[in-house]
Structure formats: structure tokens, C-alpha cells
């Protein structure tokens, strides 16, 4: 066997380390060109591993890393480095002013939901197992969903957020003070009918059919007392 000079081996190892340090110091800002690999594994150094990309202006445009609780997340930014989206177990998007424009995720009940915001970051619509819309003042303007009986229904609201109409298997309309103004629906016998109400919510008109299936009209005074009626029977 050949004898190994320990001193020479140490000197050789140190020279090798110095060469690699020199190459690294002079290559850290150089473009290495295309790198083709089967996989890249980023290890956690205790602060969470991450991967960032930058544009030609030196602005960070993507960040892939570990968030609070050890959850992975992805952030994207525009050409100025301002955040445009955030993806974790939910997705948030932002406009160029940094205002939130949408949220797609899971609600408290375990169902998915979507929220849409205007350019000022105010909520405009909400979609889950129901749909809500809002005006520019943040007042609810509509609600589309399922009632307790399992029937679908639609509610609309005025600019102040007060109920304006309700549609299910019948239609109700309301005045600006939420007093009912009309009712259009189906009677137990199967005939359609219409009721009208005055500003106090008292019925003053009726149009429908009677027990004999004849058309009938009824007019009532301001207090709801019967005033005049007529049937279509000859």
C-alpha cells in the first residue's frame, strides 16, 4: 500500500474548497442558463424554505414558501412588485391599488363560497349555497337561495337595504317603508289571485275567483272594510 501524506491531503482539500468558494463568489450574479432536473427539493432551515422569482427590473413577482402554521402558500405580484394574488387553502386577488377584489375558499359550514369586491374593496356579491348582491354603499340589494320548506326564493331590496319584493311560489312587493303593497299567488283551489294594499299595508283590492270558479273583484275602504264587489257570472 502507498503511504498517504496527511499534510498533502489537507492542503489539497483546502485548495479544493478555496476553488469552489472562488467560483461561487464570482458566479452568484451570473445567469446559469437553462437548468433541467427531475425535481427540486427546498429544505427548511428553521425559517421555512421558499422560492422567489424577479423580473428584469429586480421586482419580486412570485413567492412560493411556508406560511404560519406550516401551510404552503403562493403570492404573485405585478411588474411593480405589488401583490395581485395569494393562494393557500383559499385564493385572494387584488387590484393594482392593493384592494381585495375576490375571495374563493371554504366557509364555516365546510361549503365553498365566493366573494366579489369593487375597486374600493367593498363587498358586492357573495355566492355559497345562496347568492347575495350589494350596492356601492354596501347595502344588500338581493338574496337568492332556498327557504325552510326547500323551495327556492328571491328577495330584492331598495337602495337603503329595505325589502322591496319577495318571490317564491308567489310574489310580494313592498313600499319604501317595507309595508306590503301587492300579493300575487295561487289559492288553495288552484286559481290565481291578486291583492293590493294601501300605504298602511291594509288590503284595499282583490282580483281572483270564487268557489264557483267565476272571476271576482272586490274593493275595500282605507280601513279594510268591504265596499264593493262583482263577479263575472252572468
Domain-wise residue ranges, the chain: 179-234
Highest mean pLDDT: which range of 11-15, 26-30, 144-148, 170-174 = 170-174
C-alpha cell at 32: 446559469
Q: Are 166 and 180 in contact (CB under 8 A)?
A: no
Question: Which DSSP helix (H) or strand (E) runs through 19?
Answer: helix 6-27
Q: What is the pLDDT of residues 133-179, one digit of tens each?
A: 999 888 999 999 998 888 899 999 999 999 999 999 999 999 999 99
Q: What is the CATH number of domain 179-234?
A: 3.90.930.1
pTM across the whole model: 0.68
CA distance 151 to 10: 84
Amino acid at each position: 500500500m502507498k503511504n498517504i501524506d496527511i499534510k498533502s491531503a489537507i492542503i489539497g482539500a483546502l485548495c479544493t474548497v478555496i476553488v469552489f468558494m472562488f467560483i461561487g463568489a464570482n458566479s452568484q450574479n451570473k445567469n446559469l442558463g437553462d437548468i433541467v432536473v427531475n425535481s427540486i427539493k427546498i429544505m427548511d432551515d428553521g425559517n421555512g424554505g421558499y422560492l422567489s422569482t424577479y423580473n428584469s427590473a429586480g421586482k419580486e413577482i412570485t413567492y412560493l414558501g411556508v406560511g404560519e402554521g406550516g401551510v404552503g402558500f403562493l403570492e404573485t405580484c405585478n411588474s411593480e412588485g405589488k401583490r395581485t394574488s395569494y393562494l393557500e387553502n383559499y385564493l385572494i386577488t387584488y387590484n393594482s391599488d392593493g384592494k381585495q377584489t375576490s375571495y374563493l375558499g371554504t366557509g364555516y359550514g365546510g361549503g365553498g363560497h365566493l366573494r366579489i369586491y369593487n375597486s374600493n374593496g367593498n363587498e358586492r356579491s357573495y355566492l355559497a349555497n345562496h347568492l347575495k348582491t350589494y350596492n356601492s354603499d354596501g347595502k344588500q340589494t338581493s338574496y337568492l337561495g332556498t327557504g325552510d320548506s326547500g323551495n327556492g326564493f328571491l328577495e330584492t331590496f331598495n337602495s337603503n337595504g329595505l325589502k322591496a319584493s319577495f318571490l317564491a311560489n308567489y310574489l310580494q312587493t313592498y313600499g319604501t317603508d317595507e309595508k306590503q303593497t301587492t300579493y300575487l299567488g295561487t289559492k288553495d283551489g288552484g286559481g290565481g289571485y291578486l291583492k293590493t294594499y294601501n300605504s298602511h299595508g291594509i288590503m284595499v283590492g282583490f282580483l281572483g275567483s270564487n268557489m264557483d270558479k267565476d272571476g271576482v273583484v272586490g274593493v275595500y275602504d282605507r280601513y279594510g272594510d268591504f265596499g264593493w264587489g262583482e263577479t263575472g257570472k252572468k
